[in-house]
Structure 1
Amino acid sequence: MAPKFGTSGLRGLVTELTDDVVADYTRAFLASCPTGGRVFVGWDLRPSSPRIAAAVTAAAGAMGLPVTRCGALPTPALALAAMEAGACAVMITGSHIPADRNGLKFYLPTGEISKADEARISAALGPGSGTTPGTPPETAPETAPEVTDTDEAAGDYVARYATAFGASALGGLKIGVYQHSSVARDIMVQAVEALGGMAVALAPSDTFVPVDTEAVDPDTRGMLNAWCREHGLDAVISTDGDADRPMVTDATGRIVPGDVLGPLTAGFLGAEVICTPVSSNTAVDGMGFSRVLRTRIGSPYVIAAMEDLAGQKVVGYEANGGFLLGFAAAAPAGPLAPLMTRDSLLPILAPLARARAEGRTLADLVATLPARFTAADRVAGIEPEDSAAFLDGLRGDAAARAAFFDTGSDEAEVDETDGLRVTFATGDIVHLRPSGNAPEFRCYAEADSPERAEELLQTHLAKLTERLG
């Protein structure tokens, strides 16, 4: 499958992300979008990422643009550094997907690119193979453009939260940091310690581990639980590969879903308006926010909705936990400037700091929310055309839906905002959607108890596997 844009960024097999293809996309981005006159480049810890970063740097230099290489660092840290410098950025990452795939995330000087920007980039590649961008340089610059290296961006990212939350925000908490191959594995330790907590580093890996914070496998869940018991932890924290999606557990090792971390963070920061995809937990609807706006899945859609609400105390988050701050918030120890890209560190630190400030455990804080529970996973190896054909058959045929869905209840509502999301008379919800980044079919379930949500998930994963796997 040729590289293509998914829910967030360009993705493809490493074998297809050749230096020529990477250069073509880089030139198309720089030719069709605002650059601010400089390019910031960062990468994750995949084996292929440094090579791809070198191809991006060379292509930008050939167009006469100076490049600031920030090294291996979280995507939100790169975005923050570039936006503060008024520059564009390219992050080399495949996010949570396996190491045989990688990708590019593009940032304007104002933040993450939109779907309209993606279309402009694709159009600038020209017809056919994508090897002839629309406005390549006719000649190389007379002098080699400046290429500089900096290691300040990661430190500035940690300092952002140390200043906002203060040196005692996590005082007395013992927090495990599941490091694996997250590009934020050292930064998470630094952030916990900067906020007064005790960090326990766990399981760093020299081999890339594709952690999907939205679909954590049973073995990993068991490992998290064991660590909490062994070390007496108050929580375990982690991220996906490029650290724009958080993973947080309570003291028992139970994962707190991203669409629970999101509204907890929003409430702590005084947000009034929520923008979140249709797949997110509906508990947020009963939490007292003035407005909850549902979007398609993917940070570009969330950002577009937030931009339409500029001037309000608006935030966005996704079911995977990535959090976007759209206003200047008053954090406990100082101001917190907007960051209009998916971030992992804020929704990790804010709920933990909030629970401590309220004298609660994290589990007790979560228990204050409306009793709605979600579960999500995926069936791998399902090609997009097969997923699309299957969903098309369900969308237009109520009898087909009745035959496929197994909830013991009549359907009450069908939502086609993104995929197929069916609400049943009991309040159970099952949402089916092809992945935008990989040959996978995702299933989301929601119910009034965690056991019921898991039952719905496993039932429909089995049915999807039988039909498509």
Structure 2
Amino acid sequence: MRKYFGTDGIRGCVGQFPMTPDFAMKLGWAAGKTMLQDGSNEVVIGKDTRASGYMLESALEAGFSAAGVNVALVGPLPTPAIAYLATTFRASAGVVISASHNPFHDNGIKLFASSGLKLTDEQELEIESWLDIALESGMGCVSSDNLGKARRILDAGGRYIEYCKSFLPNHQSLKGLKIVVDSANGAAYRVAPAVYRELGAEVISIHDQPDGMNINDKCGATHLNSLQAAVIKHGADLGIAMDGDADRLMMVDHTGTVVDGDELLFMMAQVAKQEGYAGGVVGTQMSNLGLELALAELGIPFKRAKVGDRYVMEMLGATGWRIGGESSGHLLSLDHAATGDAIIASMRVLAALNQQSETLHAAKQGMKKMPQTLINVSYDATKGADPLAAQSVQAAVRDVELTLGDSGRVLLRKSGTEPLVRVMVEARDARQANQYAQDIANVLK
């Protein structure tokens, strides 16, 4: 069992363990010790726009240097950009300082292998073993002549912009398209608008003035109201929203209607099929049943992983498939990027629209979402009993499943971060979904 790493790195409230400068320095040292065993000694460090990123960056730099590992600093850039640059610079790892879509007072640290992929469980456990030594006995330091050196990569943003642009086919452009881009006052605030603008689009950029504290604040992929309003106000063709570290994508069509991760994943799979892709698609337990049904009509196999892009990636590895994602907007196209990348995913969607000469509004009609109701029910975790194991709860779920048959779906899962059970019901009728979800929630309560 991992002690410090969660499903997406290490995360917490700044100033509280583990998001302290002392812990970050020791984490850098522990990761550096692990990396040196693999025979490489440079790491690329990037961050989003949180004020605390500067503190944690300096602490990590000190820890890596003390372990004898060189550091390349690239400044504020999206998480997927760091994964890409780690590969480009032949670094042994990439480190991202970000808490993704969380508010500014949180921060986190994610690590990528030289391949651009997230670390394996075994690699994280190896780092944790060194981290325990540092926390209990001190981290030590190499001799002065072996200290790691630091350098700043000034053209990192430009390299990533060119990389993203390459995923729109050469014969295509975005000329004539008006796009509103919401960068969530986060890591993509410079690079994202530049990508679309340099490809010929007219770009209206919003939430692109980070001040260290306004990241994800009522904006970005988790708060789409201002993007919807801006698309209507400017008469734009579509809107693109990212979260704070730009690994999550949501879009808005010209009517102001949200196009979520499931719908975008369907469009990506559809164009891939037209290009000759013969594999399937991986979603999650929360993926809308409408996605599964729409893919089946195209003859595209579909599997569900546990919630979390980490588990989507694991199932893609197990199946050999190349496309997957979550309804929240974490989208993977492994033939184009090694990790979730909002800008590259949007390139795939825009390429699909160009290829089919369709608007985003028309393209989303290819998938009919099933009405879905989600209810959170709190429980007392101190009692130790598993609420999902209660016979009354299981009986309630069976009753609803029998009633729905193949025309709906029931999912109960416990939150990984708080004492909540999430009750999700999908049905062809919204009233049915609401009623059945409430029935099960009442039994849980």
- Which of the five TM-score ranges fits, normalised by the shorter chain? 0.7 to 0.9
Contact 2:184/2:243 (<8 A) preserved = no
Contact 2:11/2:109 (<8 A) preserved = yes
Cα distance in 1 for partners of 2:164, 2:269 equals 15
Shift in Å at residue 424 of structure 1? 4.2
Contact 1:125/1:133 (<8 A) preserved = no
Number of matched pairs: 428
Structure 1 pair 40/372, CA: closer, same or farther in 2 (3 Å)? same
1:317 equivalent to 2:325? Answer: yes
Aligned to 1:285: 292
Q: Higher helix share goes to which structure?
A: 2
Question: Helix, strand or coil for the counterpart of 1:126?
Answer: helix
1:119 equivalent to 2:125? Answer: yes
Contact 1:63/1:141 (<8 A) preserved = no
Shift in Å at residue 208 of structure 1? 2.2
1:305 equivalent to 2:312? Answer: no
Question: Quick one: percent identity of the two aligned structures?
Answer: 26
Cα distance in 1 for partners of 2:244, 2:393 equals 38
Shift in Å at residue 430 of structure 1? 4.4
1:313-371: CA deviation from partner (whole Å, max 9, x where unpaired): 522222222222323xxxxxxxxxx4221211122232233223312211110101244
One-letter amino acid of the counterpart of residue 89, structure 2 = A
Cα distance in 1 for partners of 2:81, 2:241 equals 16
Shift in Å at residue 436 of structure 1? 3.9
Superposition map of 1:6-405 within 5 A: 6-16=6-16, 17-33=19-35, 34=38, 36-87=40-91, 88-110=93-115, 111-126=117-132, 131-132=135-136, 136-137=139-140, 139-165=142-168, 166=170, 168-205=172-209, 206=211, 207-210=213-216, 216=222, 220-221=224-225, 223-269=226-272, 270=275, 271=277, 272-286=279-293, 287=295, 288=298, 290-310=300-320, 314-327=322-335, 338-372=336-370, 374=372, 386=381, 392-394=386-388, 396-401=389-394
Contact 1:64/1:141 (<8 A) preserved = no
1:227-259: CA deviation from partner (whole Å, max 9, x where unpaired): 222110111111111111112111122211112
Shift in Å at residue 281 of structure 1? 2.4
Aligned to 1:411: 401
Contact 2:220/2:241 (<8 A) preserved = no
Structure 1 pair 48/63, CA: closer, same or farther in 2 (3 Å)? same
Q: Higher strand share goes to which structure?
A: 1
Question: Helix, strand or coil for the counterpart of 2:145?
Answer: coil
Cα distance in 2 for partners of 1:210, 1:304 equals 28
Cα distance in 2 for partners of 1:263, 1:139 equals 51
Cα distance in 2 for partners of 1:81, 1:112 equals 14
Shift in Å at residue 168 of structure 1? 4.1
Structure 1 pair 65/58, CA: closer, same or farther in 2 (3 Å)? same
TM norm structure 1 = 0.79
Cα distance in 2 for partners of 1:299, 1:148 equals 32
Question: Helix, strand or coil for the counterpart of 2:122?
Answer: helix
Contact 1:39/1:68 (<8 A) preserved = yes
Q: Which moved more, 1:56-65 or 1:83-92?
A: 83-92
1:262-305: CA deviation from partner (whole Å, max 9, x where unpaired): 23113323442223322222334332354323222222222222
Contact 1:244/1:342 (<8 A) preserved = yes
Question: Helix, strand or coil for the counterpart of 2:323?
Answer: strand
One-letter amino acid of the counterpart of residue 148, structure 1 = R
Cα distance in 1 for partners of 2:141, 2:60 equals 18
Shift in Å at residue 309 of structure 1? 4.0
Structure 1 pair 119/366, CA: closer, same or farther in 2 (3 Å)? same
Contact 2:21/2:56 (<8 A) preserved = yes
TM norm structure 2 = 0.83
1:431 equivalent to 2:411? Answer: yes
Cα distance in 2 for partners of 1:251, 1:265 equals 19
Q: Which moved more, 1:12-21 or 1:268-277?
A: 268-277
Contact 2:71/2:150 (<8 A) preserved = yes
Structure 1 pair 316/212, CA: closer, same or farther in 2 (3 Å)? farther
Structure 1 pair 211/315, CA: closer, same or farther in 2 (3 Å)? farther
Contact 2:322/2:334 (<8 A) preserved = yes
Shift in Å at residue 174 of structure 1? 0.8
Contact 1:214/1:377 (<8 A) preserved = no
Structure 1 pair 362/95, CA: closer, same or farther in 2 (3 Å)? same
Cα distance in 2 for partners of 1:437, 1:121 equals 23
Shift in Å at residue 62 of structure 1? 0.8
Gap runs ≥5 in structure 2:
none
Structure 1 pair 276/115, CA: closer, same or farther in 2 (3 Å)? farther
